[in-house]
Structure 1
Amino acid sequence: MSAWKQKRFWQQADAVPVDGGFAVHLDGRAIKTPAKAALVLPTKPMAEAIAAEWDAQDGVVDPLSMPVTRSANAAIDKVGPQHREVADLLVAYGDSDLLCYRAEAPQELVDRQQAAWDPALDWAAATLGARLSPRVGVIHAAQPPEALAALSARVHEKTAFQLAAFHDLVSLSGSLVLGFAAALGWRDADDLWDRSRVDERWQQEKWGKDEDEEALVHVRKAAFLHAKQFHDMC
């Protein structure tokens, strides 16, 4: 038997100021999260985006067509209650950051990595106070504790909403540095996504594209771009 699906029952969705931020009302009734918490958003643009998603529903409600709503729910129900754990998970990316593990050969790939990744590491040193060191090969080598401490402080100070978006920026790119670069607008999100895919693009040029893999990459890039937009809304 198919699962029950919610159908549209409201005429209008509105962003409404409330104590602590903004809510979304359906015909005057406040939306709650899946865990039955109050859906209180930090900014009006986020509330308006969520209201627009609910207004766009026609017939059966499709959660997959409501990315801002889903991200806000995750921030409240999942990230908020375990903020420290999520932040620690993301800080760990800094000690094994994608940008720091370089190929020994061929020289063309070495040059591509250097061109795409060195400017990001330089930006992190200047802007975040964290100089991460590249190394050749895939064997882990710890980064300077003072650099990781600087990055950790910045991650832990993020709100639950920011951290929900930041989680996807980091995990999808594989890089804490690129996550910060996206969040702080060092380069646009498309550029940063391309920097995270240097190795994959090299492999494609040598061995050709895999259609299934390309479809998955398309989904992941869309999620990365959404995470950037959601972080900006915070």
Structure 2
Amino acid sequence: MAHTLIRKCAKPSYPNFLTSLSVAQIRRRPASVAAAEKEQAPSSSSSSFTFSAEGDKVHLKSPPGKWKSSSSVTMPVSFMTGSIVGKRFYKEVKTREADDGNGWTVMLDYRTLKTPSKRPLKLPTLSLAKAIAAEWEYQQMDGIRPFTMPLMRLACTALERVPLTRTKIIENLMKKFNQDLVFCRAPDDNELTSNVYERQVEKIDPLLRWVESEFGYKPVVYSSFFGGKQEDGLVMAIENLLKKTDDCEMAAIDAIAASAHSLIIAIGMVQGKLQIEEAIELIRLEEDSQVDRWGLVEGGHDVDIADLRVQISSPIVFLSLSRSI
């Protein structure tokens, strides 16, 4: 069943630079489509398009006789939840420079794409705009699947959520810092976990040494299920680093940390210390040890790995494209 779901949700003909992102997030959270969102009435030279909710479908409507006027498309809030938001309503996807010359936008036919809060989706680089346009281009006719569009989701997060809630995001990340995945060690005196401990020493210790050299404090490792407590100096150094990030970096770090259960891994990836596959190996170190011992569950472990690869790689691709020219 898992393979069938993957084939239905993932588009096999993604461009090469998005190959690593072509596997959809398999587990979709149950979510109802948000109430109808209506744009403010525009001038007489443009038409108004509205998303209206009917069950789990969203339709695009326009006033009669105004289809040829310039307009925009505003994605409903449900776009950010992972639910299918309706059938594909456009034929052509392209990019163009923003009207003020500051950034790039995505066009669905003749409509300018907007964020869920009805702000123009103004992207910092043409590379990122083209990548997001590719996500829209490869949507299937039977439905728009936001869970196959990680770059679009990250762009909306960087443009809208981060500027408004930066302090809260940092606060939430620091609350979990003492329980960071890389600080936790399996017991070395137990037959079932001793091999995990050995792998942790081999794979994670180099990252901890980097943290010590980068921030001036040696991380504390622990075996307690409830975590330990890091030195105040290290906590403050990490928090200060987060405060200095730009919005795209903050969005990437927050997304990676949520999937990795590790702020250290997220920072290491954003700063170029860890490559994608290295990070995935650290995140799955304990589970992969169990797979080696008991075997891989097809339709379970393989789906988890594919999902993790999308969640970890997409923020790095997003960040790289947001900086390229």
Letter in 2 for 1:102: R
Deviation at 1:7, TM superposition (A): 2.9
Deviation at 1:36, TM superposition (A): 0.8
Q: 1:29 to 1:130 in 2, by over 3 A?
A: farther
Q: TM-score, normalised by structure 1?
A: 0.88
Partner SS for 2:300: helix
CA distance in 2 between partners of 1:195 and 1:231 (Å)? 21
Deviation at 1:141, TM superposition (A): 2.0
Q: In structure 2, what is the equivalent of residue 179 of structure 1? A: 266
Letter in 1 for 2:129: A
Matched, 1:125 2:212: yes
Partner SS for 1:111: helix
Q: 1:7 to 1:157 in 2, by over 3 A?
A: same
Q: TM-score, normalised by structure 2?
A: 0.65
Partner SS for 2:107: strand
Q: 1:172 to 1:180 in 2, by over 3 A?
A: same
Partner SS for 1:140: coil
Runs of 5+ consecutive residues of structure 1 not aligned to the other structure: none
Matched, 1:220 2:308: yes
Letter in 2 for 1:113: Q
- Tell me how large the CA RMSD over aligned residues is: 2.3
**Alignment equivalent of 1:11, drawn from 83, 92, 107:** 92
Q: In structure 1, what is the equivalent of residue 292 of structure 2? A: 205
CA distance in 2 between partners of 1:233 and 1:93 (Å)? 29
Letter in 2 for 1:93: K
Deviation at 1:27, TM superposition (A): 4.5
Q: 1:20 to 1:92 in 2, by over 3 A?
A: farther
Letter in 2 for 1:218: A
Letter in 2 for 1:140: G
Q: In structure 1, what is the equivalent of residue 187 of structure 2? A: 104
Deviation at 1:118, TM superposition (A): 0.6
Partner SS for 1:39: coil
CA distance in 2 between partners of 1:54 and 1:2 (Å)? 19
Q: In structure 2, what is the equivalent of residue 134 of structure 1? A: 221
CA distance in 2 between partners of 1:82 and 1:199 (Å)? 33
- Is the contact made by 2:220 and 2:228 (CA closer than 8 Å) also made in structure 1? no
CA distance in 2 between partners of 1:3 and 1:28 (Å)? 22
CA distance in 2 between partners of 1:154 and 1:19 (Å)? 31
Q: In structure 1, what is the equivalent of residue 40 of structure 2? A: none
C-alpha distance after superposition, 1:196-224 (max 9, x if no partner): 21111122223333335312332122211
Deviation at 1:110, TM superposition (A): 1.8
Deviation at 1:33, TM superposition (A): 0.5
**Alignment equivalent of 2:123, drawn from 19, 24, 41:** 41
Question: Kindly, what percent of the aligned residue pairs are identical?
Answer: 23
Deviation at 1:24, TM superposition (A): 2.2
| Structure in which a larger fraction of residues adopt helix | 1
Q: Of the two, which has the highest radius of gyration?
A: 2
Letter in 2 for 1:136: S
